[in-house]
Homo-oligomer: A and B are copies of this chain.
Amino acid sequence: MAREPKANRGPSAGPDNRRAIIAAARDVFGESGFAAPLSSIAKRAGVGQGSLYRHFPDRLALAVAVFDDNIADLEAIASDELTTLDDLFAAIAEQAMGSSALIDMFATHQDDPRTDHLQTRIVELVRTVLARDAAVGPHVTVDDVTLAIAMLAFALSRTDASAKGATAERARAMFRAAFGR
């Protein structure tokens, strides 16, 4: 077997490896779901298994790193004074690609403090938007909205790409009807 031209960059390879792993994980989780073999993520990243496990001791650590970015995006959107609840749903729908993995992650590691932390951040940004959006009925609670978000993510995760747009629109229409004044 001929030696690969890919060089080992020795010490202080920088955070490149880590970033490559996260990017590969986002792709693989999106394509093959949360249960995808970690070895396939390492391969996609052009990295050995050792490096993957060195950076992320377990599957959840890797997933948290991936979804941390997604939630950060939502937080930025939520902090915008002009964002309505429906806008938030739209933003979540656009992140739908990875939602299947996100759903499975929460299902598989329901009681882990790391997923709890992500959940807390979601609750917080929902609270922010909900407090601001005057078009939402006063009877609507944060729990109602987080349930709706979970349902939306689920619906998108179980729809093939061609129909995602229609499903997202259908679900959003339902939530508008349910949450409006």
Contacts and interface: CB of A to CB of B under 8 A. Distances in A.
A178 B140 CA distance: 13
A106 B158 CA distance: 9
A158 B150 CA distance: 10
Nearest to A151: B151
Interface stretch (A43-51, A84-92, A141-149): A141-149
Interface stretch (A7-15, A52-60, A126-134, A166-174): A166-174
Copies in the complex: 2
Given A106-B158, A154-B151, A174 B170 contact: no
- Taking each of A143, A147, A148, A171, which has the highest tally of chain B beta carbons within 10 Å of its own beta carbon? A147
Contacts of A158: 103, 106-107, 110, 150
A42 B179 CA distance: 47
B175 A174 contact: yes
Interface string A74-114: 00000000000000000000000000000100110010000
A110 B157 CA distance: 12
Given A106-B158, A154-B154, A147 B170 contact: yes
6 contacts: A107-B158, A143-B170, A150-B154, A151-B155, A174-B178, A175-B178
Given A151-B151, A151-B171, 8 more contacts: A143-B170, A144-B174, A147-B170, A150-B155, A150-B158, A154-B154, A177-B178, A178-B178
5 closest A-B pairs by CB: A151-B151, A177-B178, A174-B178, A154-B154, A178-B178
Interface of A: 103, 106-107, 110, 143-144, 147-148, 150-151, 154-155, 158, 167, 170-171, 173-175, 177-179
